[in-house]
């Protein structure tokens, strides 16, 4: 019996630098990824409708010369806004990682409130590039990337971050309450005192000063996810710099190559797309 391989578009542009490892993560999870330059979409050589999952990987699209993710978001908005709207409305999955999260926010696909600019990702409170591992708690019960056979609400995971403009802010208290009430907060930075509730308030556990420790959000439907941490950098147990401590206590897992906390997001997404949309 042939196993359906969902088709994944990993969109790259000048300055993107995480597309190869992100494509590999989806391939490892059983999908059929394709790294495609944004120009191919803009020229209509390829169409979004060919794919089941759309990925905006990390990096520095167009050098972030006019702001993180600004140029790529503007190019997509001017030529592909309707196509992106149809893709999201179909229920297919979209993920933006780091720079990709910034693109989704600038496009308005996150938080996905038509006509409103309610959230922003701005320079870290430290005023410097932060490159470190963080602890996160899954908050969303409606996001296929985070809820599946190996993911659940309240799940704690470790992922690396690497960004200078990752501080998540909201326009006003009402917007923050709307994110909460509609279940759109996907991930929070946590520390030892807030693993079960609350969030990390102090640097470096909250590495950028994000309000309420928010590290990722979804659209109201949950099929669009943006997050600052890099799940593609923790696919294997050996990717975690603390793996020796874990191995000393429990030994290495049998499927070490697919045992990193980040791999679960790709595994869940592929399983969801395979069951829901893939027909090829």
Residue among 163, 230, 234, 239 flagged as catalytic:
230
Sign of CA dihedral 191, 223, 61, 266: positive
CA distance 92 to 222: 10
> Residue 246 CA to chain centroid, in angstroms?
26
Q: Which of 18, 98, 130, 143 is catalytic?
A: 98
Residue 50 falls in the annotated catalytic set? no
98 is catalytic: yes
Active-site residue, 267 included: no
- Is the Cβ–Cβ distance between 255 and 176 less than 8 Å? no
For residues 59 and 204, give the distance between their C-alpha atoms in angstroms, rounded to a whole number.
Answer: 22
Please give the Cα distance from 207 to 162 (Å, whole number). Answer: 10
Is residue 133 within 8 Å of 159, Cβ to Cβ? Answer: yes
Give the active site residue among 232, 234, 239, 267: 232
Classify 132 as helix, strand or coil. strand
CA distance 13 to 227: 19
Q: List residues with catalytic annotation.
A: 98, 230, 232
């Amino acid at each position: 019996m042939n196993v359906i391989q969902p088709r994944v578009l990993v969109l790259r542009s000048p300055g993107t630098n995480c597309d190869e490892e992100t494509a590999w993560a989806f391939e490892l999870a059983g999908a059929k990824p394709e790294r495609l330059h944004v120009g191919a979409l803009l020229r209509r050589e390829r169409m979004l409708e060919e794919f089941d999952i759309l990925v905006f990987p990390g990096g520095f699209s167009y050098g972030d010369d006019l702001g993180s993710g600004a140029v790529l978001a503007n190019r997509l908005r001017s030529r592909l806004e309707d196509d992106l709207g149809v893709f999201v409305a179909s229920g297919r999955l979209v993920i933006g990682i780091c720079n990709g999260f910034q693109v989704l926010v600038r496009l308005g696909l996150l938080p996905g409130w038509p006509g409103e600019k309610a959230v922003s990702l701005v320079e870290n409170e430290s005023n410097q590039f932060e490159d470190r591992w963080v602890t996160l708690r899954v908050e969303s019960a409606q996001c296929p990337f985070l809820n599946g056979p190996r993911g659940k609400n309240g799940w704690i995971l470790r992922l690396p971050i690497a960004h200078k403009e990752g501080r998540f802010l909201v326009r006003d208290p009402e917007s923050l309450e709307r994110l909460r009430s509609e279940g759109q907060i996907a991930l929070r930075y946590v520390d030892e005192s807030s693993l079960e509730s609350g969030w990390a308030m102090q640097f470096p556990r909250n590495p950028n000063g994000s309000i309420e420790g928010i590290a990722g959000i979804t659209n109201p439907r949950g099929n669009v996810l943006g997050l600052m941490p890099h799940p593609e950098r923790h696919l294997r147990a050996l990717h975690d710099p603390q793996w020796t401590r874990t191995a000393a206590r429990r030994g290495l897992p049998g499927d070490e190559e697919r045992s990193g906390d980040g791999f679960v997001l790709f595994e869940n997404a592929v399983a969801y797309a395979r069951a829901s949309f893939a027909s090829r």
